[in-house]
Amino acid sequence: MSELLTVAMPKGRIFEEAVELLRKAGYDLPSEFDDSRKLIVDVPSAGMRFILAKPMDVPTYVEHGVADVGVAGKDTMIEEERDVYEVLDLQISECYLAVAGLPGYKETGIAPKVASKYPNLATQYFKEQGEQVEVIKLNGSIELAPLVGLADRIVDIVSTGRTLKENGLVELETIVPITSRLIVNPVSYRTKDTLIDEMVERLAKVVEGE
């Protein structure tokens, strides 16, 4: 049996864009991909196995070598330093990280509370701003925190801006633009170099052509 390349894919909203990109790069992904709940999908014709993980967990699978490559948001890479190579900006799932809060927000307390899915990133950002804050880690629906008084501000992803708008929040500061990246396990990069180089080349052509 020839060698398989295991690809960790992010479930959820990035998934569709990542699948579309792979199809444009010539990978014949089955329709099973679009509506199945399977977490492992083999595509023998492409010599690939896809594993479907939570976006935040993709770098973990790649770092531990159970996936050779993965599609990971730059946000996940900034939040936790990982021993993986970031080889290509896929230029999909464009969004940015921002600080947001209620309109007219004025800092009052000594260490205002900041809610975020990205506690390390938020801590680092406010440290760089010379501001002392208390970071509260949440796992989702971050915009709820200032509405119910759990936090004064949030650090979160803004994509269309709808979630902020529909919840009466405003953006206070932009932190950094985010896109998805192709990441590679360092050992796989040596042992499966031909397969990985081919994948990078095919994806790079699509990315550059757009």
Report phi then psi at 194, rounded to 5: -65, -50
Q: Smallest distance from the beta carbon of 80 to ligand PRP, in angstroms?
A: 16
Q: Does the footprint of ligand PRP cover residue 129 (CB under 6 A)?
A: no
Residue 62 engages ligand PRP in binding (rule: CB under 6 A): no
Q: In the set 157, 170, 172, 204, which binds ligand PRP (CB under 6 A)?
A: 157
Query: Residue 49 corresponds to which tokens in the numbers above?
Result: 């196995």
The Cα–Cα gap between 135 and 117 comes to: 10
Distance (Å, whole) CA 55 – CA 30:
21
CA-based radius of gyration for the chain:
19
Nearer to ligand PRP, 72 or 196 (CB): 72
User: Which region among 46-54, 101-109, 127-135, 161-169 touches ligand PRP (by CB under 6 A)?
Assistant: 161-169
- Of 67, 12, 41, the C-alpha closest to 182 is 67
Q: Does 156 sit near ligand PRP (CB under 6 A)?
A: yes
Q: Which residues bind ligand PRP (CB under 6 A)?
A: 13, 140-143, 156-163
